[in-house]
Structures are given as structure tokens and as C-alpha cells.
């Protein structure tokens, strides 16, 4: 049988974008199950054992598609998902599929050992993003954790930039990306901003409470199974990218509107 080969080039370097790319691949394979997909991207280790992907970072094939969402980002469209441009151009359904990620049995066992000393249930959090406009206020995190840690073990994931707290199990900066996802898979809930770990939680079936603020909308990047805390603002969605010299001039008013008590209520509702 003839198998068409397609190279999908990921135009964005973010680790969350790598997981989003797997959602696009799932849509391609759903319509064209016999196609062989070659993915060109950074952080390709995140795609290990993904049986929808035939190869990684091979040379361009006759058919090569460049995945990006610059138009949505520049136009600040509040209603269009960031995969929509690529889905439309490939003539695929507009349905957004969850990312495809495979945790190995070895990774699962290692995560189990890491968490063994701690009391269940586990709630994973991630407080920091490379874009400060995505970050909830540290004082609000502190207020939330003072309540949350009374009944739950809070597992802090992410890198070294994570806020320091005394009452969390801090794996931030200590685990690589795949180890972090394996630990996340064993948690009852994820709480954080729009990030790689938000996409990872969706991929491994962990419910989430996502603090959107107003930078972008849940329609842009969210998952229906999550609680998405979004504030509609006159200045939003702003899609601020500090690497482009853009900064919030409203002192993160959209984040200030989301109180710790509201986040806690949503967490409890998700865990009932």
C-alpha cells in the first residue's frame, strides 16, 4: 500500500507548542490514517513512543507543512483556537483533539517511588511562566496554599523560577520534562496558568483549574474539561510577549480580579 509522507514543521520553540503539535497530528491521522508523519521540532523527546508520528527531525518530504498561529496572535482574535489556522489550511475538522503523550512504565514506576513518602491526594501546581502576564500574583498563591495544604499534598512542578513556598513538595527545577509529566499523571488535579503543564495535564487525563487572567482566552488555547478562570478586559486579550518588548501597562488587573477564594472553590468542586 502506498503511504503518503508529510513533514510537519513546528514554527514555535515553546515546550507547550510541542504538545499542541501532537493535537494537530492526531487530527491529520484521524482523516488520513495511512499517512506517515515526520515532525520537525525542538524538544522531540516529549514525543517518544507516540505511534501517530513516524519520524522526528528528518529532512523535508515532498509535502511539508509549517504549523504556526502568528495571524491569531497578531490579530488577538478572542474566539479562534491557535490550532485553527493549521486545521483550516489542511482541510481538517475544526475539532480540537487532546494532545497525545505516552508515559512509559519505567517513568510511571519512578514517579510512584518519588511520591511514596507523601500523603494522598496530590494536587500539582505551577506558578511561573516565561511571560509574566500569564502569572497569578504570588500573594494570591500564598493565600491559596495556606488553605489547600491543610487537606492535600501540593506538588510543585516547573523550573527554578518557581516561587518558593514552605508548605509544598518542591520538585520544581529537580525533574526533567518527562519526569515532571509522569509525576503530574499521578495527581488528582493540576492548578496553574496557561503553560506546558496545562497541555501535559490534558494529555495524561488530569483535571485542571487554569488561571487565565485576560492575556488570552480559553477559546484560544483551553480544554473543555478544565475550569478556565478568565477575565474579559477592555485591554484583552493582549497576547503580550515580553521577548518582543511588550509589557502589561495595567499592572495585571486581569489577574488581580481572580481571588484565592474563587480558585479554592473551583478546586473543591473539581475534587468532589
DSSP 232-259: --TT-S----GGGT---SSTTHHHHTS-
- Residue 61 pLDDT level (bands cut at 50, 70, 90): confident
User: Given a cut of 60, is residue 2 above it in pLDDT?
Assistant: no
Q: How many CB atoms lie within 10 A of CB 196?
A: 24
Over residues 116-125, the mean pLDDT reads: 96
The pLDDT score that the predictor gives to residue 174 is 98
Q: Which of 61-70, 91-100, 133-142 has the lowest mean pLDDT?
A: 61-70
CA distances to 35, 80, 231, 263 from 192, in Å: 36, 22, 15, 10
The total of other beta-carbon atoms located within 10 Å of residue 50's CB is 19
Grid coordinates in use for 30?
484521524
The rounded Cα 122 to chain-centroid distance in angstroms is 19
Query: Tens digits of per-residue pLDDT, 198-257?
Result: 999 999 999 999 999 999 999 999 999 999 999 999 999 999 988 888 999 999 999 999
Q: For cell 490550532, name the residue.
A: 83
Element (H, E) at 115: helix 105-115
Instruction: Decide yes or no: CATH 3.40.50.2000 for domain 105-271.
Output: yes
pLDDT value, residue 1: 42
Determine the longest span between alpha carbons in the chain, in angstroms. 60
For 145, the 3-state DSSP assignment is helix
- Specify the pTM: 0.95
Instruction: Give me the pLDDT at residue 23, please.
Output: 97
**Prior bond to 237 cis, omega within 30?**
yes
Classify strands 169-170 and 55-56 as parallel, antiparallel or unpaired: unpaired
Q: Are 154 and 190 in contact (CB under 8 A)?
A: no
pLDDT, residue 232, reads 96
E strands, 57-146, are 63-67, 122-126
- Cα 123 from Cα 168, distance rounded (Å): 10
C-alpha span between 106 and 45 (Å, rounded): 15
pLDDT in tens, 48-57: 999 999 999 9
The C-alpha atoms of residue 162 and residue 126 are separated, in whole angstroms, by 7
Grid cell at residue 252: 495585571
Spatial contact of 127 and 195, defined as CB atoms under 8 Å apart: no
Cell numbers found for residue 98: 487532546
Amino acid at each position: 500500500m502506498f503511504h503518503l509522507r508529510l513533514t510537519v514543521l513546528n514554527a514555535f520553540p515553546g515546550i507547550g507548542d510541542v504538545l499542541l503539535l501532537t493535537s494537530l497530528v492526531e487530527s491529520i491521522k484521524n482523516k488520513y490514517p495511512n499517512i506517515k508523519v515526520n515532525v520537525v521540532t525542538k524538544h522531540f523527546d516529549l514525543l517518544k513512543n507516540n505511534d501517530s508520528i513516524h519520524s522526528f527531525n528528518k529532512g523535508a518530504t515532498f509535502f511539508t507543512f509549517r504549523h504556526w498561529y502568528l495571524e491569531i496572535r497578531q490579530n488577538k482574535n478572542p474566539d479562534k483556537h491557535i490550532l485553527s489556522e493549521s486545521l483550516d489550511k489542511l482541510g481538517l475538522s475544526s475539532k480540537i483533539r487532546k494532545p497525545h503523550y505516552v508515559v512509559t512504565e519505567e517513568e510511571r514506576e519512578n514517579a510512584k517511588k518519588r511520591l511514596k513518602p507523601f500523603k494522598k491526594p496530590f494536587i500539582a501546581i505551577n506558578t511561573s511562566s516565561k511571560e509574566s502576564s500569564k502569572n497569578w500574583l504570588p500573594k494570591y498563591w500564598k493565600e491559596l496554599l495556606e488553605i489547600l495544604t491543610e487537606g492535600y499534598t501540593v506538588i510543585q512542578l516547573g523550573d527554578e523560577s518557581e516561587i518558593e513556598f514552605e508548605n509544598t513538595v518542591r520538585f520544581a527545577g529537580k525533574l526533567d520534562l518527562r519526569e515532571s509529566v509522569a509525576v503530574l499523571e499521578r495527581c488528582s488535579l493540576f492548578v496553574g496558568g496557561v503553560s506546558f503543564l496545562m497541555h501535559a495535564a490534558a494529555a495524561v487525563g488530569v483535571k485542571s483549574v487554569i488561571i487565565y487572567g485576560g492575556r488570552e482566552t480559553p477559546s484560544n488555547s483551553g480544554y473543555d474539561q478544565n475550569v478556565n478562570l478568565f477575565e474579559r478586559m477592555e485591554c484583552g486579550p493582549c497576547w503580550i510577549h515580553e521577548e518582543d518588548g511588550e509589557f502589561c501597562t495595567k499592572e495585571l488587573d486581569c489577574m488581580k480580579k481572580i481571588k484565592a477564594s474563587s480558585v479554592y472553590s473551583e478546586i473543591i468542586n473539581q475534587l468532589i
